């Protein structure tokens, strides 16, 4: 039998070396297990940077996408928490607000998803998520603020009357905003913090519309359709997608339906 190295001529070796990182970067990361009230606290303040998340939380997903997009998988360790069966040490020792996301970095723990996008962008390497151009920077800030309105309108209308009436205007607002720099992203060709702020919300609310109300949020909204299509090509996001059935169950409980 010929030895394995027989196939390893210099050309195939170079090809493997070139292709392997591309292949590896598009592979889904093996995610850590979800820690519950019975789980021991992982090491803390030992110089390792940790991002505390829940796999179902849209706010945690924002920080998680940021970490992935900036290529920080090796530098920022994920710690997944079960929000329904939260470990006591999380509130007591890690983050007194007892919420996710939270980032343990440089001897302190900070939270709030939008702040964390900005913090990671400023303090770590990787592609910039906030523009330096003043007009674009102002627009990103405007969109980040609007993501709160998008969220509160959704839950307000879900509770009051069902989302078809109340939330449609907010999807129209996204459609118009995506035109400003000619898409497909909010800043045109450049992916930014604004895309990260909205994608976990659009994923969930759009999924609810589709599955529960047979309504496609992209119909009549070509910019939104193109945005979702582009977002779905981004591994940093793709690997963080939620289980939409779990979200639908949650939203129906909020709506008092089931
Ligand atoms: N404004 C916060 C919201 C974070 C948040 O609401 N996280 C939820 C999970 S999706 C949470 O930790 N809830 C736990 C609790 O409220 O006790 C952010 O943007 O990070």
Identify whether residues 177 and 150 lie together within a single domain: yes
> Ligand 1: which residues within 6 Å by Cβ?
54, 57, 59, 83, 98-101, 111-113
Q: Point out the domain boundary residue: 75, 103, 123.
A: 123
Question: From atom 2 of ligand 1, which residue's Cα is the shortest distance away?
Answer: 112
The range of the structural domain enclosing residue 109 comes to: 29-123
Residue 55 CA to ligand 1 center (angstroms) comes to 12
Identify whether residues 91 and 154 lie together within a single domain: no
CATH code for position 214: 1.20.1050.10
Using a cut of 0.85, tell me whether the model's pTM lies above it. Answer: yes
The verdict on residue 101 lying in a domain is: yes
CA quadruple 41, 42, 43, 44: dihedral, nearest 10: -70
What is the rounded distance in angstroms from the CA atom of residue 225 to the CA atom of residue 216?
10
Q: Count of CB atoms within 10 A of residue 5's CB?
A: 8
Q: Report how many domains make up the chain.
A: 2
CATH code for position 70: 3.40.30.10
Per-residue pLDDT of the chain (258 residues; tens, 9 = 90+): 455 445 567 766 666 666 655 555 567 899 999 999 999 999 999 999 999 999 999 999 999 999 999 999 999 999 999 999 999 999 999 999 999 999 999 999 999 999 999 999 999 999 999 999 999 999 999 999 999 999 999 999 999 877 777 899 999 999 999 999 999 999 999 999 999 999 999 999 999 999 999 999 999 999 999 999 999 999 999 999 999 999 999 999 999 876
- Of 99, 243, 247, the residue with max ligand 1 atoms within 8 A of its CB, to mutate for a pocket test, comes to 99
Q: Which residues touch 256 (CB under 8 Å, ≥6 apart)?
A: 159
The verdict on residue 191 lying in a domain is: yes
Identify whether residues 144 and 89 lie together within a single domain: no
């Amino acid at each position: 039998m010929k030895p394995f190295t027989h196939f390893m001529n210099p050309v195939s070796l170079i090809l493997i070396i070139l292709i392997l990182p591309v292949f590896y970067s598009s592979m889904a990361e093996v995610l850590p297990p979800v820690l519950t009230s019975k789980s021991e606290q992982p090491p803390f303040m030992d110089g390792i940077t940790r991002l505390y998340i829940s796999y179902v939380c849209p706010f945690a997903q924002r920080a998680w996408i940021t970490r992935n997009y900036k290529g920080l998988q090796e530098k920022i360790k994920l710690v997944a928490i079960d929000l329904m069966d939260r470990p006591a040490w999380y509130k007591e020792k890690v983050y007194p607000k007892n919420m996710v996301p939270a980032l343990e970095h440089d001897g302190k723990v900070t939270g709030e998803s939008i702040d964390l996008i900005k913090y990671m962008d400023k303090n770590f390497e990787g592609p910039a998520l906030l523009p330096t151009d003043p007009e674009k920077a102002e627009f990103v800030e405007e969109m980040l603020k609007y993501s709160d309105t998008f969220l509160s309108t959704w839950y307000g209308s879900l509770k009051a009357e069902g989302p078809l009436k109340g939330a449609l205007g907010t999807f129209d607002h996204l459609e118009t905003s995506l035109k400003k720099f000619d898409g497909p992203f909010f800043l045109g060709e450049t992916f930014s913090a604004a895309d990260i702020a909205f994608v976990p919300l659009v994923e969930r609310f759009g999924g609810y519309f589709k599955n529960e109300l047979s309504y496609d949020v992209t119909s009549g909204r070509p910019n939104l359709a193109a945005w979702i299509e582009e977002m779905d090509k981004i591994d940093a996001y793709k690997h963080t997608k939620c289980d939409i059935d779990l979200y639908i169950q949650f939203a129906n409980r909020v709506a008092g339906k089931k």
